[in-house]
Amino acid sequence: MPPFFNSLRFAIAVIICAIFAGCGDDKGGPVEAADRFFALCANGKAAEAFTTASGTFQIERSSKYFQARVRENGLDSFQEVKWTALDMPGRARVVRGDFKLKDGRVLPLNVSMVQDGGRWCLFGAKLEAGSEDIFAFIERTPDGEEEGKKGFGDPFDRALPSEKELQKMVEKVLLDFDDAVKRNDFSYLYASASDRWKFRGKDPRILTYTGKEPKLIEKADPENKARRLTINALDHAFHAFVEVSSDISRIKGEKMIFDEPATLSTDRVLTVKGRYDTFVFQGGAAPKPCKLSFSLEFVREGSSWKSFGITVNFAPPTAK
């Protein structure tokens, strides 16, 4: 055979080898690729895992949104996963992963893998056939039909508050809480809370309905099945602090210590968890020093962040 054809055959062979060398089997098939992807998530590298997903997956959601969904589904700290390869011929493959989560629950996922750029990549994950992708970018607010109609965009398209801003937000809510406890009057704390917490997406005018129309009565939710915030709910939740004459006023101007970085959920809820080193007190005439820890939630309404959840804990100074 002439040298030219030998060279051509050699060049074609090199090209074919190069194509198949990049098809993802150099490090295993779709099961192995899925296992590597979720191992990154479990090891605090969800952002890195996102960059290995298929191009379509990356286009349809932001990295921060994906990281939040990983955290919300417990996939950032699962203990183990058992994989089963499902028989799904074609370009895409579906593999079943049973994830044992940190709290002992098992999360079963049908994980779709596709070849993208010559390697196996994540395309999506569903709890069962026909269900939505758990990482899909959709409106997830469970607070009522009115809230869902507003068409919010990606909750991560705005910058989170700075540490300085978080300090101010937390201090204001806690000092408002302190004032409410001392006055035994939670009306201002209620008034300053977010409308989303107070109304759960419902029209306030409907909530005051006192007629007999069944459909309107259901919308008015007289039994508060939506768990809307009320003054009575605040009074009930924090009455114990009133009884022991708690005083946290000394936190004013003191630096808050974060227990973990502030997080924003795909429901657009900002969670801040922390504590103060300065002493707070309980006991009135014979005050006992305590240490304060808290978990506060905020949602963005208009140009400001407003409270969406308040948890306050007192502990003896020696407690860690």
What domains, with CATH codes, occur in the chain? 3-138 (3.10.450.100), 163-315 (3.10.450)
Mention every residue, 6+ apart, whose C-beta is less than 8 A from residue 208.
220
In contact, 91 and 114? CB cutoff 8 Å: yes
Mention every residue, 6+ apart, whose C-beta is less than 8 A from residue 113.
30, 33, 34, 92, 93, 94, 95, 120, 121, 122, 123
User: What's the number of CA atoms in the CB half-sphere (13 Å) around residue 185?
Assistant: 4
Confidence of residue 9 (pLDDT cuts 50, 70, 90): very low
Specify the pTM.
0.75
When the pLDDT of each residue in the chain is averaged and rounded to a whole number, the result is 86
Neighbours of 194 (CB within 10 A): 20
Tokens 């198949």 correspond to 20
Confidence of residue 157 (pLDDT cuts 50, 70, 90): confident
Q: For residue 47, is pLDDT > 60?
A: yes
Q: How many helices (H) and strands (E) does the chain have?
A: 12, 10
Q: 162-173 burial string, b = 16+ CB within 10 Å, else e?
A: eeeebbebbbeb
180-238 pLDDT, tens per residue? 999 999 999 999 999 999 998 887 888 888 888 888 888 888 888 888 999 999 999 99
Residue 82, phi then psi, degrees to nearest 5 = -115, 125
Q: For residue 263, is pLDDT > 70?
A: yes
- 139 token code pair: 């409106």
For 63-79, the DSSP string reads HHHHHHHHHHTTTTS--
Q: For residue 10, is pLDDT > 50?
A: no
Mention every residue, 6+ apart, whose C-beta is less than 8 A from residue 66.
46, 50, 53, 135
- Mean pLDDT, residues 249-260: 96
Q: For residue 3, is pLDDT > 70?
A: no
